[in-house]
Each structure stands twice: as structure tokens, then as C-alpha cells.
Structure 1
Amino acid sequence: MSDLGTKFEPSIRLREILKDDTQNVYRPEVDTSSVNERKLIRKVDLALIPLLAAFYMMNTLDRGAIGNARLYGMEAAIGLSDKQYLLALTVYIFPYSFLEPPCNLAFRRLPHPSYWFAVTLSICGIAMMCHGFAKNFGDLVGLRILLGAAEAGVFPAIIFYLSCWYRHSQIGLRLAVFFASNSLAGAFSGLLAAAIHNMDGVAGIAGYAWIFIIEGIVTIVLAIMSLFLLQDFPQSAKMLSEEERVYIIRGLLADHQFSASGSEPFRMSVVKQTLQDPKTYITVIICAGFVGPLISFQLFSPTIVNQLGFDATAANLLSVPAYVWGCILTCIVGFVGDRRGQRGYANLVLFGTGFIGYVILITSRSTGLSYFATFLAASGVFPTSPNTVAWVTSNVEGSYKRAFTLGLAFGFGNLQGAVTSNVYRAQDEPRYILGHGIALAYLSIGFITSFAYMLLLRRENAARNRDERDEVIIGVDNDRAREENGVFESIEHARREKGDAWSGFRYTL
């Protein structure tokens, strides 16, 4: 079969074995027949998505505010050279990247996500406010390091938290709406910066400093709100009835999320298993392919538009429509992905579109065409994020493995910001050939590794269809089972121990 999109079903022999395992139902004593799934999911959506989207929006605004402040004289006010400004952007990346994997593992072990977000967001807000009072390069570097360390515990934790609530056919659109807040934050940052700058001189504080102060205050308010509004994991969420909790968990278990019952203990072998899985490294590189350009786009889109011939306020405002377009396209891709399930193909189209956008930015001499290319670039970086996350979460089983994989992927992806935050140099204006060229390279890598991931998943599904991955289940007669695939007491034991490596698991393309 040559079609990469072929859907694989369990073999006849495996279906016969699974038939005997159907009695293993989570909390069989609970009757869930009265639960209306549509109303339940809507209830979950309203409780989770707006609040988490607000977290991520402020997370993105905090990270990118320095780009808006730069246009309003921050460099001159605290005596920064161009190289010092770029270094201040770079130092943020290292704690943010390296702390993401351990933070996500720690988050998974906590029973109350609200406490985690209250602490991390409070630190983010305080660090942001202090940006407005930085007096020199040393102050700014210290605050960027603190902000990076605090934000390492926000974004990957949100992604993992969402993956614990939704089935694979549901999560794409929810992630898209959530990630759309990233696009809206980019749009809002330009409008907000233009508005806040009018406070220049109030209380003797410069306009650029007010950008940091006000955004920091809003972040702290959200941190306090999380204590009262954010739900725990499904197993103990107070907003759900017992029947609703069981219904959600049964749905996740039926969706091959066998760790959904919450009984999975942490084992160091999970870390080893994750690091030995070649798919982990492909996932990491795919994320680098879009996170690198995404970071540079967020930091420098006002600067890029500014160099097309517009003043600072016009550049901030004209950077808004590309973000709005990215928001709309993100939701469309998420909706289609949930219904068709072919997220790998979507990645190829999105990376290709972004590639074309940056080619135009490099070659164009027309202001109008270059401005249009920023929309194509946004198409290549914004929707690719939730599409890839939904694709990866549906192909990684085991809550700790999923948490660690997401932490590694986004940790390494965000580490690329150390590169892309330094490539739009003042000496390269107005065309920024170096910056656009490096973004092109990242998008090319993302395209190639997405295609490689599809091929690897297809090959593994085919091997499982041929019963080459069947484990030995004690007491089950299966002449295709091989001891090298593992010997287990039951199918449930094999599922729990092997996660997505279990022979009955099928990857989605």
C-alpha cells in the first residue's frame, strides 16, 4: 500500500484477544448512560479554554513586549547597544528551554494544577513589572533570565494539561483555539503598545516602561484567578459529577490513553524509554522547525514592517492583521484536523506556505508584496504549532512519557530562539537577508522531518498489522507472539508497560 493516509485496524487475531478484555471497564459500577456528551464537552470547554488561553496570551505578551518597547526608545533610555539588546533576548531562551522538561514532569506529579500556575504566573508578572524599572543592561539580563525560568513552567504544562482532558478527535480544535490566543496576543501587543505609550510621562515613567508594568499587573491578576477558577485533572475535578468524571476517563481509555485513570506511577524507566524512542528526536526537530521562526516573527514582526517604510506606531498597528490571519487559519486547521485526522499532510502544506513567504521577503523589492509575504510567513508558523502538538499527543501514550516528550520538544524548539533572536540585526536592515534565510532553513527542516515522521509511523503501523510486534501474553494462545517484544501477565499489563509501543496501539498520520 502506497497511501500514507491509510487507516490501520487491529489484526483479526488481536481483535479476538481484545474481545476477551472488554470486561475491564473503568469503574463498572458507575452508570454513565444519563451523560450528554455534547453538553459535557461544552462544559469542559468553557471551564478550561478561555482561562488557559488567557494564560498563554499573557505569556506571549510578556515574552514579546520587549520588541514593542524597543520601538519606543527602550534602548536609548537604558543605554543598550544593538548587540546588548540581542543578548538580552538570547539569555531568556536558555532557562526557558532547559527547564521545560523537568518542569513538565514535576507538573504531572502535582494533584492541583491551579497551585502550579498561580506560582509560575505570579513570578512572570513580577519579573515583567520590574522590566519597566531596569536601569541598565545588567538589570535587563537578570530579569530576562528570571522571566525565562518562570515561563518554562507555563506553556508545556498547559499543553499537557489539555491532553489529559480531550480525546484525539477532540483536542485539535481546542489546541487551535488555545494557540489562536498566541496570534491574538501578537495582534493585541501592537495595539496595546500603541495605546499604553500614550501614558508616557505619567508618574514620571517612560511610555515603554508602562508597557511592561501594565502587562505584568494583568499577569499577576490571572495568577490569582487560577487559584479559584482552574480545575484539577479529570479524576478529581470539582466541577464534574461522578458520572461525568467516569464518562471522560472511559472515553480517554477507549482512545488508547491508558494512563487516563490516574493510576500511573512515575518510573525512571519512562525517561529512558522516551530517550530511546527515535520518534522523540524527530518530534523535537519538527518543533524546532516552527518554533525558531515563530519566536523571531513574534520578536521582530514590528521591526520588519517598520523597515518597509512605516513609523513605529504604524509598524505596530500594521503588524496586527498578519496575527489576526494566523489566528483564523489556526482555528480552521484545527477544525479540519479533528475531522480528517491527517495532521501530517497539514504540516507539509503549512511549512511549504511559510517557506514561500520568506522567499518573497528575501527577493521582493515591492512594499506591498513584502507586506503580503508576512501573512504567508504567519501561515507557516502559527497553525503549525497546535497541529503538531495534536499530532504528537495522539501518538505518545503514557502520561509521564507524553509530559516528558512535550517538554523535550518545546524545550529544544525554544532553544532555537537563541539563534533566531539574534539574526535580525540592525546592520542587515532593511531587507534582513540573514534573518529571513535562517527562517527558511528552519521551515525546510520542519517540512523534511514531518515527512520522515509520517513514513516512520506508517512503517510501524504496517509492522503491527503483520503481527510483528505482538507480545507474549501469559495464558493467551498467539503463535505470532515473540518473546523479544515482551512477556506480560495480561493485555492491560502490556498496555501499561509499553504505552504507544504496545502492539495494539496505532499511530495517526
Structure 2
Amino acid sequence: MAEKQALQLGEETSAAASINIGDQEVQGWDAKATKRLLWRLDLHIIPFMSLIYLLCFLDRTNIGNARLDNLEADLGLHGLQYNDCLAILFPFYIAAEIPSNIMMKRVRPSIWLTFIMVCWSASMIGQGFVKNYGGLMATRAFLGVFEGGLFPGVNYYITQWYCRHECGFRMAMFFSAATLAGAFGGILARGIAEMSGVGGLGAWAWIFILEGILSILVSFSAYWAIYDYPATAQFLSTAERNEVERRLKEDHGHLSNDYNVKYVWQALKDWKIYIHMLICMAGFCPIYSFSLFLPTIIKNMGYTANNAQLMSVPPYVCACFFTVTASWVADRHRQRGVFLLAFQLVAMAGFSMLVATGNPSVQYAGTVLAAIGIYPQIPLGLAWNSGNIGGSLKRGTGIAMQVMGGNCGGIVASYVYLTRDSPRFVKGHSILIGFVGIAFVLTLFMTTWCRWENARRDALSESREAPGGPRLQELSEEQKLLERELADSVPWFRYTV
């Protein structure tokens, strides 16, 4: 009886496969056509997402450039007050992330992302008119509230358009905007420094105001530039929309895409996501430390303030190249962990060079290596985590949780480099070596566990029977639908390693 059932199922599967292949041949969805389709998606989605994240990261970290243009002196900041102004952003940023991704599910992305962008741009402009420590603290808090939803929101948004093995490269293209923000930030700050005294405002104020105005101008076009979901994308034909949805369904199986709070709880109870949160925290801590303090670190190597602004550009350019290239290669090989481990070693080497010597040339080379090592970790880690979470809402929550963990690293980063430790900042560099080392150990653990779990499920699929039913490889589509609420815990789900 079991043999007959298996034979019947095999015949049905073969017939279905023949129909699908026939359909694909009629519609022309061979490898070349799929490549063209992905190119259309890339052109309409990635450039604008990258642009708004560039502006977001620029608005969040330009305070590091403003510091070199008398921010502390003009506002009367002393002691740890500058560090407090950096840190205050992150608790509000973290608190906004999960609610924001839930809103991405309830409200169309074009509406939600436009709303938060207008609000953070207004906060940025307001930051240019503050007169004291309290005013700067308040505007930074508002900046955190509204910027908090962008990074997890866009990463979740990308997973709604691309298959799991295609997300890493797109996330890297999007995240590379953070490295470009660092590069442009230095160049813009050098030019805006010439406006010191215009309108009775210091150069630091004009950095905030002009970059905030740029963000708000872009936000006015966001509603029309952001496409919500494949099913409603006007730049795709009906056949193309159907193909995008078919590919996503095939890639994710039949895991639930329904809106139900129980999938949020599934994410909150998943231990694997907490490991990724810690890896992300240990990755974001050096990134925020780097972006917030790099101009100060380079200035303390003996450069003038203006030259330090310009010398901060090359490390970011190198980081951008390696961020995009590494994720492209990782997508092709469909692996994440081994690439993360390699870049973590590079980052530790870079910070070790900063600790080991006071030679400015060696130290500067260390900043370049550190940048190359730390920036690729974030898109690689996000693609790894998101690809290993089954179900749309659980994935959105899990991504937000991961980024929450990452931004806890931002709180620590605000106090890594203290004025009393200048000019070498040996203690700060050593702390960052420790954080990257923690990420290395956790990444090695997750890589090993994913490989072991995949092997266990393969063995189960080949030799064991599902309780009360047919062998696992013989599960029908109906039975898979019944199991979809188990998300990535279903026996037929395989983890990216």
C-alpha cells in the first residue's frame, strides 16, 4: 500500500514538474530571462533604498564630523556629555525597530518609510539650531525614534522580493551606502566648514541643517519611488509579477505569510535569533565606534581638522568595495558563516595594528584594514539570519530583533573612545578587538550547528518516517501546508550555513 502511494505521488510530482517546466518554457523563464527579471528588480528597488540609507546613516553619524568644527565648545559640552549625546540615540532607535517592522506589515512600505524619513529629516534640521546640551540630547532622541525603523524595515522589504540566496548581495548594496555615507560625510564636512559664521551659525550647525534639508527633499519623492510588493509593482508585467511570486513561494516553501501575533512570539522564543543578535551587536559596536570617532582618531595621528575630514574617506571606499564583493561571492556559494569568520579575522588584525604602534602610517593602514573587516559583517549576518527564518512575519520580527541587538552595540560604541585615552586610544581599540573576537566565536558555533542540523534533517528525511504519516520526502503539498506554522522548525527546511 505504501509503495503504491509512493508510486502515485511520484507520478503526480513528475506530471506537476512537467507542467511547470512547460509553463516556464512558454513564458521564457530560463536562466537568461530570470537574470533579466532580477536586473529589473535591482534597478527599481536597490538604488533608492541605498540612497535613503546613505542619508539616514549620514544624518546619524555626521556628529563625528561636526565635533571637529567646534560643536563641543559652542554648546559648552564637557566631560562625557558628548558621549551621552551619541548614546541617547540608541535606546530610542532600538525601541522603534520591532514596532516599525510590524507597521511595515500592516501599512504599505511606501507610506511608512516616507513618514519616518520626513520625521527624522525634520529632527536633523532641528539639531542644527540647538543651543545647549539638553537641546542636542532631545533632538538626538527624536532622531533615534524615527531612524530606528529604516534599517530593519528595508532588510525585511528586500526579503519580500528576492530568494534567500539572492538577498545577501542586495543587502550589501544597500548597506554599502553606510560606507559611502562615511566617505561623503568627510568631503561634505570639509566643504561646509567654509560656511562657519554664516547666519550667525557655526560650521557644525550647517552640517546638520544642510544634510537634513537634503534628506527631507529626497523624502518628498519616496512615496512614488518605493514599490510596495511584487503583486502590485507597476514596473512589472503580469507574467513577471507571477514569476516573482512563484520564485518566492518555491524558495520559502509554504511557510506562513499571514499576519498573526503568534508568529511574533515564535521569533521571540527562537534561541538562534538571539545568537545572531549577539553577533550583530559585536559587529555594530566597532562600526559605530569607527563612524563616530574616525575623524577624531585620524586627527590625533597628527593631521589638521580639515585634512582629517578628507583622510577619513579612503577607509570607507575600501570597505564599500569589499562589502559588495564579499556578499556577491557569498550569494554565489550560498554560504555566510565562513565569509563572516574571514572578515572578523581581518578586523582584529586592523585594530591590533592600531594598538601595537604609534607610527601614523601603520595606524592609518590599520584603520583601512579595520574598515574592510567590520563593514561586510553586517549584510552577511543579516542575510544569514533572515534566510534561516521561516514565515514572513516571523522573519520581519527576527530581522528587527537582530538589528536591535546590533544597536545595543551602538550604546557601547558611544563610550569606547574617551578623550582621556587620546591620542592613541589603546583601550578603545582593545575593547573592539574583544567584541570582534566574541563575534568570531559565536559565528563559528552557528556555522557548526547549522551544518549539523542540516545533516540531521537529511538523515531523518532518508531513513525515518514522519509520526503517523508517510516518509518525510513523500509529504504532499497539503501536509506541508498543515506544517507551515512550524516555520523553520519543519523537517524539510534547510539552513544556510
- Shorter chain as normaliser: what TM range? over 0.9
Structure 1 vs Structure 2: percent identity of aligned residues? 34
Partner of 2:332: 339
Change (3 A) 1:255 1:480: closer
Partner of 1:185: 181
Query: Counterparts of 1:364-375 in structure 2 under 5 Å?
Result: 364-375=357-368
Q: Are positions 1:230 and 2:226 aligned together?
A: yes
**Which residue is 2:133 aligned to?**
137
> How far apart, CA to CA, are the structure 2 residues paired with 1:79 and 1:18?
76
Matched residue type, 1:43: R
Give the SS at the match of 2:235: coil
**Residue 195 of structure 2 is aligned to residue 199 of structure 1:** yes
Report the Cα distance in structure 2 between the residues aligned to 1:181 and 1:90, rounded to whole angstroms.
Answer: 22
The unaligned stretches of length 5 or more in structure 1 are 1-12
Counterparts of 1:300 and 1:82, CA distance in 2: 16
Match for 1:491 among 471, 480, 489? 480
Q: 2:144 aligns with which of 145, 148, 157?
A: 148
Contact 2:105 2:259 (C-alpha < 8 Å) held by counterparts: no
Q: Sort the Cα spacing of 1:377 and 1:471 in 2 relative to 1 into closer, same or farther, 3 A.
A: farther
Match of 1:70 among 45, 56, 67: 67
Query: What is the match of residue 318 of structure 1?
Result: 311
Q: Give the aligned residue type for 1:508.
A: T
Q: Which amino acid aligns with 1:239?
A: F
For 1:108 and 1:369, locate their aligned partners in 2 and report how far apart those are by CA, in whole Å: 48
- In terms of fraction of residues, the more helix-rich structure is 2
> How far did 1:205 drift?
2.1
- 2:472, 2:492 within 8 Å by CA — same for their partners in 1? no
Counterpart of 1:246 in structure 2 is: 242
Identify which of 36, 44, 51 aligns with 2:41. Answer: 44
Rate the CA distance shift 1:491–1:185 in 2: closer, same or farther, 3 A: same
Deviations 1:350-403 (A, max 9, x none): 011101111111111211001000011102211111111121222111111111
Structure 1 residue aligned with 2:437: 444
Change (3 A) 1:502 1:184: same
Mapping of 1:90-489 within 5 angstroms?
90-110=87-107, 112-256=108-252, 258=254, 264-467=257-460, 472=466, 476-478=469-471
Q: Rate the CA distance shift 1:237–1:490 in 2: closer, same or farther, 3 A.
A: same
The change in CA–CA distance for 1:471 and 1:101 in structure 2 (over 3 A counts) is farther
**Partner residue of 1:4?**
none
- Deviation (angstroms), 1:499: 1.9
Q: Is the 8 A contact 2:461 2:472 kept in 1?
A: no
Q: Which residue in 2 is equivalent to 1:5?
A: none
**Partners of 1:21 and 1:398 in 2: how far apart?**
24
Cα distance 1:468–1:40, how it changes in 2: closer, same or farther (>3 A)? closer
1:33 to 27, 31, 34: 27
Shift in CA distance, 48/331, structure 1 to aligned 2, threshold 3 Å: same
Change (3 A) 1:207 1:272: same
Gaps of at least 5 residues in structure 2 are none
Amino acid of the structure 2 residue aligned with 1:195: G
Q: How many residues are treated as equivalent by the alignment?
A: 486
Q: In 2, distance between residues paired with 1:270 and 1:385?
A: 24
- 1:16 positional shift: 9.6
User: 2: distance between equivalents of 1:479 and 1:397?
Assistant: 18
- Using the TM superposition, give the Cα deviation of residue 466 of structure 1 relative to its aligned residue in structure 2, in angstroms: 1.7
Provide the aligned C-alpha RMSD in A: 2.6
Q: 2: distance between equivalents of 1:82 and 1:194?
A: 26
> 1:16/1:195 Cα in 2 relative to 1: closer, same or farther (>3 Å)?
farther
* Equivalent residues of 1:350, 1:384 under 8 A apart: yes
Deviations 1:214-233 (A, max 9, x none): 11111111211111111011
